Amino acid sequence: MTTTERTSVEVRAADPEEIAVNTVRTLTIDAIARAHSGHPGAAMALAPVGFTLWNRALRYDVDSPTWANRDRFVLSAGHASMLLYSLLHLSRVKDADGSRLAIELDDIRSFRQLGSRCAGHPEREIDGAIEVTTGPLGTGIATSVGMAIAGKWKAERFNRPGYRLFDYDVYAIAGDGDLMEGIGQEAAGLAGHLELDNLCWIYDSNQVTIEGDTELAFTEDVAARFRAYGWVVEFVADANDRESLARALERFKTNARPTLIVVHSVIGYGAPTKQGTAAAHSEPLGEAEARAAKRHYGWPEDAEFLVPAEAYEAFAEGIGDRGHRLRHAWDNLRESYRQAFPVLSAELDRLEAQNLPVDWDHELPSFTVEHGPLAGRAANAEVLNAVARAVPWLIGGASDLAPSTKTLLTGDAGHFSATDRGGRNLHFGVRESAAAAIANGLALCGLRPFQAGFLVFSDFQRGPIRLGALMELPVVHILTHDSIGMGEDGPTHQPVEQLASLRAMPNLIDIRPADANEVVEAWRVILAVDRSPVALVLAKQDLPVIDRSRFGAASGLARGAYILADPSDGVLPDVIIIATGSEVSRALDAWEQLSAEGVRARVVSMPSWALFERQPEEYRAEVLPPEITARVVVEQAAAFGWERYAGTNGAIIAMRSFGRSAPAADVQRFFGFTTENIVAEAKGQLS
């Protein structure tokens, strides 16, 4: 028998809150049973934790889920997704446009099915309801640090005496796996250093992982570790003790540092033979065990997707009523603020609407041949600072590499710290993984973040970069030292396969500029993009500034690839040389030599595969006419993937091994990145 509504008479519990908690548990059991897959144990154990957090602490308006000062909730333990879906449904959270509930009961019934809003792990497709896409452990809690930083920065930027516009808190539920992952440890260390007192992690300590008891691999004193990080640590001995958790959450509000609440739970609570074991982690309970668990909760054993009226009422009297009052009071404050501080208010309006200031690019530099040679990272330093002066909410930093990546914001930008919440330079320390996730958190709160490091170390960041692409976040990943031009630092620091790896990622825009003016145009593209992260890949070594009076305008970068040089008579060329980044100037040198020898050649600068693939077929055929099969590709990175542009018979001058430790010119010569070799390959295409 399938039912969707019953009265409390049929549910053996006098307490409406307990009915609500058990509704979360039984919806979890039923959804996973119907899907024949899922992770029931954590959601069953954490049902009272989720209920208490949402109804006793979380400041959130279910009718206005994108309210700017809402508390943020991150389910870092994303495998427990049914906990989040149940909370969203029972609290009746609406879509951002108010047209429907974010999660209907039918969505839960179709858990893990094609097209369902209830995916296997939470996906940020519903604004304000699911704040963060989670699943890869550790990444959610790391992202929450960025959200907390954003809250502090906004408060410093916009709050005024009597106008406390921003004071939201960030809550994240983490499991044992989150705290084992290195990215989580990186983020926790930085959060403690920054004294982010608006950050609360709730640690579900159930001592069980997929392989079995955590004693197999995880025996450290978590509380001692977090105290060493500079956190306040609270304890709740039993996840079912809602009052103890509520008191811990109240104390968090008064703590001067981030808070870790260690909650001891029993995974799969209520399932008589599977609770407390790995069997409850990641598979349906089975019919007999599910019936027994419902019996333990005082639930009708034959009911499926049962939601008693009391469950809805408990949430309405908790998060519902409180959230409405808080948001309406904030709206009134915001309107008064608009009158009292019109300039700041207008800036905040633009930030929230993701609209750039008028004429934001008015002071972008332009470069002439006389400015060169100039390294990509050095040109970017000038452009980045020009952008930062025009866009006050551009914020970011490097993983202890700002002097090398040239990404320090100058002037009055300041340095974000425990004592300067308005600083725009972030210092992540040597924490590349956390840096990328924190940047995602900043973007989730409306800021325009960048994070910088060496291209080779983007390997450490692939997880959060990937999630940023999945969430469509406009984060700028500035990746310098982009090739074997690193020279003496050797193959450990010379990126080879990283570009191909980044280009393979859906919804990530790759940009590898050829000179300083392409860097300028890259930022015009970056600031216009609002639903994709960008990997801005820059050279360490000096590059000539291309003479744009002779060759194609750098504005062609916006289309991903463009004709830089062509035969002088306007007739189609015999051979096309395609190059990116630092190799473009070498390609132009080869073009000069070929032209002098009577060879009709074209040079195409292709700074971005992603942007080029977005162009109409007619434009792509204009730049790379399919009938011209004599082609040479030049890039100091892996050859992988270049066949799509070189064609079946084209030549590819690229890396097919790791690099070497030697002066850059010697390394480049050793691997064939010379004008002479490009000329020879071009001629070979015509023979």
pLDDT digits (tens, 9 = 90+) for 385-402: 999 999 999 999 999 999
b/e sequence 54-86, b meaning 16+ C-beta within 10 Å: bbbbbbbbbebbebbbbbbbbbbbbbbbbbbbb
Say if domain 555-686 classifies as CATH 3.40.50.920: yes
Tell whether the model's pLDDT for residue 617 goes beyond 80: yes
632, 669, 667, 670: which is closest to 653 by C-alpha? 632
Q: List the strands of the sheet with 601-605, edge to edge.
A: 562-565, 601-605, 575-579, 631-638, 651-655
Identify the pLDDT of residue 125: 79
Identify the pLDDT of residue 209: 80
Checking phi first, is residue 570 left (phi over 0); if not, alpha (psi -120 to 50) or beta?
A: left
Confidence of residue 206 (pLDDT cuts 50, 70, 90): confident
Identify the pLDDT of residue 6: 43
Tell whether the model's pLDDT for residue 1 goes beyond 80: no
CATH architecture assigned to 369-543: 3-Layer(aba) Sandwich (3.40)
Q: List the strands of the sheet with 170-175, edge to edge.
A: 72-75, 170-175, 199-205, 259-264, 232-236
Query: Which whole number is the average pLDDT over 619-627?
Result: 97
pTM: 0.95
Tell whether the model's pLDDT for residue 683 goes beyond 90: yes
Confidence of residue 210 (pLDDT cuts 50, 70, 90): confident
Confidence of residue 13 (pLDDT cuts 50, 70, 90): low
In tens, the pLDDT along 158-193 reads: 999 999 999 999 999 999 999 999 999 999 999 999
Tell whether the model's pLDDT for residue 303 goes beyond 70: yes
Q: Do the domains spanning 369-543 and 555-686 agree at the CATH topology level?
A: yes
In tens, the pLDDT along 2-11 reads: 344 444 446 6
Taking CA atoms, 456 is separated from 303, 376, 404, in Å, by 55, 16, 14
CA atoms within 13 A on the CB side of 99: 3
Domain ranges of the chain: 8-325, 369-543, 555-686
- For 442, the token pair is 């900043």
Catalytic residue among 18, 181, 289, 432: 432
Identify the pLDDT of residue 127: 67
Tell whether the model's pLDDT for residue 53 goes beyond 90: yes
> Containing H/E element for 242?
helix 242-252
Q: How far is CA 113 from the centre of its chain?
A: 25
Query: Which whole number is the average pLDDT over 517-522?
Result: 98
> Containing H/E element for 637?
strand 631-638
Say if domain 8-325 classifies as CATH 1.10.260.40: no
Radius of gyration of the chain, Cα coordinates, nearest whole angstrom: 28
Checking phi first, is residue 258 left (phi over 0); if not, alpha (psi -120 to 50) or beta?
A: beta
473, 490, 474, 493: which is closest to 482 by C-alpha? 493
Tell whether the model's pLDDT for residue 502 goes beyond 80: yes
In tens, the pLDDT along 112-145 reads: 999 999 999 999 976 679 999 999 999 999 999 9
Q: Centre a 10 Å sphere on the Cβ of residue 550 and count the other Cβ atoms it contains.
A: 10
In tens, the pLDDT along 527-583 reads: 999 999 999 999 999 999 999 999 999 999 999 999 999 998 888 999 999 999 999
**For this structure, is 432 an active site residue?**
yes
Decide: 623 and 573 in contact? Cβ < 8 Å.
no
- For 133, the token pair is 């896409």
Placement of tokens 């008191």 in the chain: 247
Identify the pLDDT of residue 270: 95
Q: Centre a 10 Å sphere on the Cβ of residue 218 and count the other Cβ atoms it contains.
A: 14
C-alpha–C-alpha distance, residues 90 and 84, integer Å: 10
Tell whether the model's pLDDT for residue 12 goes beyond 80: no
Q: How far is CA 393 from the centre of its chain?
A: 17
The residues, ordered by sequence, that sit 6+ positions from 206 with a Cβ below 8 Å of its Cβ are 41, 42, 45, 175, 176, 264, 265, 266, 267, 276
In tens, the pLDDT along 312-347 reads: 999 999 999 999 999 999 999 999 999 999 999 999
Please give the mean pLDDT across all residues of the chain: 95
Tell whether the model's pLDDT for residue 353 goes beyond 80: yes
CA atoms within 13 A on the CB side of 365: 19
- The DSSP string of 66-81 is T-TTPPEEEESSGGGH
